[in-house]
Amino acid sequence: MNKQQTIEKIFNSLIETGKITTKPDIFGDNPQEDKVFTKRLEVNKQLGSIDIVCVTVTSNDLSFNDVTSDSMRINTKNAFEQWCNLFANETPEEILEVVESTIC
C-alpha cells in the first residue's frame, strides 16, 4: 500500500468511528456561539522518542462534509512533552504505519 492509500484508510476510519468534540471557534465572528467540531481517534503508541497520541480532523460542520484527508493531523509529543501536529501528507510513513496498524 502506498502512502496516499494509507492516509485514506486512516481518514476513513477516523470519519467512521472518531469521537466528536465541540469547541468555540476562536476565529469566528462570535466565538461564544460559533463552534468547530473535531473527530479524534486515540493512538497512544510510541515510535522511538515520539509519542503518537491521536489522529484528528476539525470541521466547521457537524457532518464533516467540508474535510478531506488533506486536513487530517497526526498529533504527537516529543521526549520533552512538546506537542507537534503534523498534516498526514507531511508525516513520515513510519508514523503512518503505526497509526494504521492501531486504529484500522
Nearest-angstrom CA–CA distance, 15 and 61: 13
Q: Which pLDDT tens digit goes with each residue over 17-48?
A: 999 999 887 777 786 778 899 999 999 999 99
Q: Which domain holds residue 50?
A: 3-103
Helices assigned H by DSSP within 1-104: 3-17, 93-103
Cβ atoms of 62 and 37 closer than 8 Å: yes
Q: Which pLDDT tens digit goes with each residue over 57-80?
A: 999 999 999 999 999 999 999 989
Looking at residue 30, what is its pLDDT? 80
Please give the single-letter amino acid code of residue 100: E
Cell of 37: 467540531
> How many domains does one find in the chain?
1
Cβ atoms of 96 and 6 closer than 8 Å: yes
Cβ atoms of 26 and 5 closer than 8 Å: no
